[in-house]
Amino acid sequence: MYKFAVLVLAVLVKDTIASCQCYETSNYTGKSAAISNAYETADFSSCAKNCSYTAYSGDDTYGWTGLTFQWGTTTNSGGLVEIFDGATNDSSALLIQIQEGENVLSGSAKSLIKSSSPRITIRYTQAAGAANVYYGVIKAVPGLQPSAAPITTTAAPTTRTFSNPNFKHDPYLITHDAFILINQKTSGGVSALNNVGDKSLNAIAINFVSLLAVTTDASSTSSTRLSLGTLTPYFPFYSLKGPIWEMSAGDVISSVPRSGVTIDGNIDTALSNLVDLAFTVNKNETADSRRNVQRSIILLTAEWPTAGATLSDDVRRNFSAKGVDLLVVGYNLSSSEQSQLLRSDLRWYNAINTMKTDQTGVASFVNPFYFNDGSSSNYWCPPFPIINSPDNKYVLFQEPYNYAGPFHPTETWKTHDPYFGQTARYCNFANNAHTYNLPAGFQGMTVQVFFELEAGKDFLNFYDASNNLITSFTGYEISASTFYTETPTLRAQFISDNQSVFRGFYVTITPVPPTTPTTPKTV
């Protein structure tokens, strides 16, 4: 597997200028973290470079242990590997130091170090001289307690320095399996595709993927996995431009189409076929789509044909069955094409028409749809209002809008479907409030909550009329949780971060009348 990975990367960097690259250039998520020397991008020989990254187990109940490490070659340059407990390199959090030439065998005292956090920071430094060759691995295992829910939380925290007025958050935080599909049929001809430095369809794709943190790790819960395809006039009406979910941003940029076509493809059929091909999650293969992330197809098109592009109920059902979202980004569409694409009746997908292909144009669909910032209606995450129950005895609300969990204490979470609940997930970057006012004549209310949320990251908080926190829910509840409050106004606030998405919550609120004392009869 490693030889294959090196071979592919060697092909990608052929004829490029060599540079010394760290083994991890950004933070990492997974159940094992590699420790390896820096390498030259041209020939993969070792080189001298100080490297550091934070590894997150992907689960707040998993900590790190089982370190094994070996120095293959040493150069008397003072090489030092350090592992810190948490996302820090503060000396007070140091778990272990490995001096140059010191090996750590499985089962030894140093091998059995344990972190108290699901995150560790791995750092290598050396003073001077030639590069050392070293390698090792540390594994994440279950055993930590879930993080306690804080009273307040902030969506999408990040330690990465970011300042760009175009975007609500750093696009590095987007966590999707995103399949980019480019329509090569353009009335603007080949130039509408190829002027990547100016205004072109390809430029939208390039300026989008260039902003992302991209991963090919099928077990990761952060970053974006990418695939690229183009529409063709012939069945199945699409063409893959690289291995599914194994393309880097550079792969996408180098593979955007360079020639146009004159015949329309069938967009409806192409989209349905791609959903079936790319978004399978139950085979446990690297080409599978991830189970606990948002998943989307982004169709980029410079025209909208009158036939074969209705995005009908059949297409909607196919997307819904696999839990996939659709975004159509039109570029320089005519008014008649816009009226077809942006129709408001029975819309189930997100769509936008842009005249810009730079970061401003990219932000026009990233902010409302990927960051869910409320600047435009998001059909991926439609709001669910507080509504009355059929018998008018209580009110209810839920998230997501197609919540598929239990509604009564006698029911259980459904895990037998082939996609393990992937078809009904809430969205990243949620910040939604539901406010309920107790009707006159009632003393208090009983609140019942079913929930499955990312533990320690996504929260359903309840506040009273004075904005004091009553209770907070995170993690998983196998049956209903119930509490009683006499506040006249109850506000529920749901906040999700930028990583894993789960099956949401279902809340019922039942008004409780005051207790009526028994009045003695008058004789």
Whether 148 maps to a domain, the answer reads no
Whether 413 maps to a domain, the answer reads yes
| Shared domain check, 401 and 347 | no
| Shared domain check, 194 and 79 | no
Whether 340 maps to a domain, the answer reads yes
| Shared domain check, 183 and 111 | no
CATH of the domain at 326: 3.40.50.410
| Shared domain check, 345 and 473 | no
How many angstroms separate the CA atoms of 260 and 194, rounded?
Answer: 9
| Shared domain check, 487 and 428 | yes
Q: 214 with 207: CB under 8 angstroms? A: no
Per-residue pLDDT of the chain (523 residues; tens, 9 = 90+): 333 233 233 233 333 466 888 877 678 888 888 888 888 877 778 888 888 999 999 888 888 998 999 998 888 888 899 998 888 888 778 888 888 888 988 877 778 888 888 999 999 998 877 888 888 889 998 878 665 444 444 444 445 677 889 999 999 999 999 999 999 887 655 556 666 555 688 899 999 999 999 999 888 888 999 999 999 889 999 999 999 999 999 999 999 988 777 788 899 999 999 999 999 887 777 788 988 899 999 999 988 887 778 898 899 999 998 999 999 999 888 888 888 888 766 689 999 999 898 999 999 999 999 999 989 899 999 989 999 998 889 999 999 998 988 888 888 777 655 556 678 899 999 999 999 999 999 999 999 999 989 888 899 999 999 999 998 888 877 678 899 999 999 999 999 999 899 999 999 999 999 875 544 444 4
Residue-range definition of the domain harbouring residue 20: 2-142
Contact partners, residue 327, CB within 8 Å, separation at least 6: 296, 297, 298, 299, 349, 350, 351, 352, 365, 369
Whether 361 maps to a domain, the answer reads yes
Number of domains in the chain: 3
How many angstroms separate the CA atoms of 166 and 64, rounded?
Answer: 38
| Shared domain check, 324 and 245 | yes
| Shared domain check, 42 and 67 | yes
Q: What pTM does this model have? A: 0.68
| Shared domain check, 391 and 365 | no
**Percent helix, strand and coil across the chain, each rounded to 5?**
15, 30, 55
CATH of the domain at 91: 2.60.120.290
